[in-house]
Amino acid sequence: MLNKFEIRTCIIVIVALFAFVLTRVLHITISSIYDPSYYLISHTMFELFSIFVSYSIFFHGWLTFQHTHSSQKLNLSLIFFAVGSIDLLHTLSYKGMPFFQSDNTLQVATWFWITGRLIESIGMGYYIVKQKDEEITEKWKNTKIGITILLVLLLIFSILKYEGHFPVLVKEGAGVTNTKIIIEYIISMIHFTTLVIIFRQYLLNRNRNDLTTFTGIIFILIAELVFTLYRNVYDIDNLLGHIFKVLGYFYLFRGIFFPQFRAIFEDKEKAELERQFAEEKLKEQESKVTSSILLAQEEERMRVSQHLHDGVGQSLYNILASLKVLKQLGVDDRIVHQLKHLEELTSQSMDEVKSIAFQLRPNSLDNLGLFSAIRIHIQRYESKFGIRVELEFSGKKQRYSPEIETELYRIFQEALNNAAKYAETEKIIVRIINNINSVELQIIDEGKGFNIHEYNDSKWQKGIGLYSMKERASLLKGTLEIESIENVGTKIKVVIPI
């Protein structure tokens, strides 16, 4: 069962063969309405298109060699470089063109033509038959290009210089000679053999590009047959042959050049997707590592805080109680004075231990929840820094998961510390908004602010404070935004889904 692409190819080939037959049947009618005065410009345009295709294939193979190092693609590009160069000389030396004109112009242009077709047929056959590819070095590439250029120049020189020694291919008014017909048939046989090989390859791998190339060679084969029929270089058969050749090169362009050109963009897109995937995996790993570090840090803080509170704090409390008992025994005044001094030092040490334990992990966060922990921290903060903090709640108060409460508390704690260090503010607003699907934390100061663009571009924009706040928010699939205006203040907004 043929697929759509195969059916379409069959239709194109049938139409091409039908067009060839139709032009033979209606040859006299077509010739009667054909105006040869437009032939030269038509011939030039058709040939320039073929030359464009040839050089496109060459430049693609040349420019992409540094990535592919493919001997097969380089060989194909050099084949079409030779074909395009010979066809260019054929176009420039054609009868009526202002280049290379002489008494033998017709023979020169025809020999350029037949040479290009021989290189084309043999080269395409070689490319199709030699499927094995291998990597070659830059030096060997340059050697191949140099040899190809020398051979092309040698052929051009030989045709221009010694054309008179070559067999006559066309006689004006009489048409092509037997020599040209035989050469065209040889070229046709080579193309036919190439067609058979391409078709067998397609049956094995079902590569659509092979079928497109197959179609191109069908048109070129028809063109070669037409070129055995014309009697004058300006007659309708010559024009029809060039039309079939242009159609053939159009399909060669689609079957050879376009897939390779498209492969570059596909490889680039694939590499970009792989890069994005690698970045996402890296971010995921970074997130996991950061999460593990923060979790371990929080667990260690909890352990140390509990140890300070239950261990060191309790010991200091026992010492303080013992000192009070000793002081009540009514011993010497100097001893009482020293005991009182020790009592004050112990009391201060207990306050410091409590403060450290609170900073590490406030018991209120675990026992009473986020709102109470924030309120208690604000009281200590105002007492320590003399900065007034207004606390606002919106929505229903509730307990969140331990992870959300811990990370929001740490973000709140870090934001207040930053404000005390850098903002030079007298007032801070802490706002907690409890939405249906998220909780929002806002910390707004009325300090000196900063230029957010300069901050983003500066070396220190990933300072540990703001960076850790962003990381904590991202760990909970949330967002953290910073808005700041110089001499107005700064706003930090955190939204965490619940």
On whether residue 360 sits in a domain, the answer given is: no
Q: Is residue 361 one of the residues assigned to a domain? A: no
Range of weakest confidence among 79-93, 145-159, 361-375:
361-375
Task: Choose among 440, 431, 311, 301: nearest CA to 378.
Answer: 431
In a domain, 419, yes or no: yes
DSSP 152-195: HHHHHHHHHHHGGGSPP-EETTTEE-HHHHHHHHHHHHHHHHHH
Q: Is the pLDDT of residue 296 over 90?
A: no
pLDDT band at 154 (very low <50, low <70, confident <90, very high): very high
pLDDT in tens, 410-430: 899 889 988 998 888 999 999
Residues of the domain holding 8: 4-277
**Is-contact 412 443, C-beta < 8 A?**
yes
CB 81 within 8 A of CB 280: no
* 390 and 257 assigned to the same domain: no
Query: Is 270 a residue whose pLDDT tops 70?
Result: yes
Please check whether residue 148 is in contact with residue 82, taking contact to mean a CB–CB distance below 8 angstroms: yes
User: Is residue 485's pLDDT more than 70?
Assistant: yes
**Pair 177, 75 in one domain:** yes
Question: Tell me, what CATH number does 197's domain have?
Answer: 1.20.1070
Encode pLDDT of 83-119 as tens digits: 999 999 999 988 778 776 676 788 898 899 999 999 9
In a domain, 344, yes or no: no
Mean per-residue pLDDT over the chain, rounded: 83
Q: What is the mean pLDDT of residues 431-458?
A: 86
Report how far residue 92's alpha carbon sits from residue 178's, in angstroms, rounded to the nearest whole number: 25
Nearest-angstrom CA–CA distance, 367 and 374: 13
Residue of higher predicted confidence among 150 and 46: 150
Indicate if 256 and 372 belong to the same structural domain. Answer: no
Q: State which amino acid sits at residue 21.
A: V
Judge contact between 157 and 150, C-beta under 8 A. no
CATH number at residue 482: 3.30.565.10
- Both 257 and 383 in a single domain? no
Domain-located, residue 345? no
Contact indicator for 451, 487 with CB cutoff of 8 Å? no
Residue 51 burial (10 A CB sphere; 0-12, 13-18, 19+)? buried
Are residues 372 and 263 located together in one domain of the fold?
no
User: Do residue 199 and residue 65 come from a single domain?
Assistant: yes
The verdict on residue 239 lying in a domain is: yes
Q: In the chain, what percentage of residues exceed pLDDT 90?
A: 24
Of 261, 277, 293, which residue is a domain's last? 277
Please check whether residues 151 and 42 belong to one and the same domain. Answer: yes
Instruction: Name which of 63, 53, 83, 57 is nearest 148 in CA terms.
Output: 83
Return the pLDDT at 208: 86
Percent of the chain with pLDDT over 70: 83
Q: In the chain, how many domains are there?
A: 2
Together in a domain, 256 and 396: no
Based on the domain organization, do 270 and 372 belong to the same domain?
A: no
Q: Model confidence over 200-259: pLDDT tens digits?
A: 888 888 888 888 889 999 999 999 888 888 777 677 888 888 889 899 988 888 887 777
Which among 208, 243, 277 is the end of a domain? 277
Average pLDDT over residues 336-341: 68
How far from each other are the two terminal CA atoms of the chain, in whole angstroms? 57
Residues 159 and 115 sit within 8 Å (Cβ to Cβ): yes
pLDDT of 497 strictly over 70: yes
**Pair 112, 224 in one domain:** yes
Q: Same domain, yes or no, for 137 and 8?
A: yes
Q: Are residues 176 and 39 in the same domain?
A: yes
Out of 277, 298, 332, a domain closes at: 277
Which pLDDT score, from 0 to 100, does residue 148 have? 94
Is residue 313 pLDDT above 70, yes or no?
no
The strand pair at 388-394 and 427-434 is best described as parallel
Give the per-residue pLDDT at 15: 92
Residue 204 is assigned to a structural domain of this protein: yes
Would you say residue 102 lies in a domain? Answer: yes
What is the distance between the alpha carbons of residues 478 and 480, in angstroms, rounded to a whole number? 7
Q: Does the model's pTM come out above 0.85? A: no
